[in-house]
Structure formats: C-alpha cells, structure tokens
C-alpha cells in the first residue's frame, strides 16, 4: 500500500493499534457531510470509545482537526493513504 507522506500527520503515536468500536465510511462525500456524519456517529459511542472515519474530501483534514480540538475529543490518527483520509477519534 502506497502512503502519501506529504499529507500524513500522526497526531498520537501512542495509538498505534487499529482498534475502534465504529467505522464510518464517508468516502465520496463532500464537505460538510463527512464531519456531520462523524458528529452523529460519535454521539452513539461511550466515552473512551474510538471512531474510525474514512473520507476522500481533502478539506476534511482541517475540519476534523478543528472539530476534535473544539469538542475535546482526541484525534489519534490523521493520514492520507492512496487518496483516502483515515481518522481515528477517541470520544472524551
């Protein structure tokens, strides 16, 4: 699998394992839909659970970074792999 290192940002290297309670596939959706669907999805989770989001909208990088910071959630992963943005968010 080829990794686009120019768009890769590892937010928390301690969260190296790929474990999540809910996977949201937002590929093909344009702003603001990936973020809106993620907000709805994370509301279904318990505190400390993880949401994995897959998106293809490049604007989602800024959206997810800002939203998790404002909402107080932890963004463990934010990287682009073959044009797909992967986010791992811990609900706090």
What residues act catalytically? Answer: 31
Q: Which two tokens stand for residue 66?
A: 């800002």
Closest Cα to residue 12, out of 78, 82, 85, 91?
A: 78
> What interhelical angle do 33-42 and 60-71 show, nearest 10?
30
């Amino acid at each position: 699998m080829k990794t686009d290192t120019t768009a890769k940002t590892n937010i928390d290297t301690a969260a190296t394992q790929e474990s999540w309670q809910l996977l949201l596939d937002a590929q093909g959706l344009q702003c603001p839909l990936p973020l809106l669907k993620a907000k709805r999805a994370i509301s279904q989770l318990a505190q400390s659970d993880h949401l994995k989001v897959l998106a293809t909208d490049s604007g989602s990088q800024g959206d997810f970074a800002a939203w998790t910071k404002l909402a107080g959630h932890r963004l463990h992963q934010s990287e682009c792999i073959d044009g797909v943005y992967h986010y791992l968010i811990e609900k706090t």
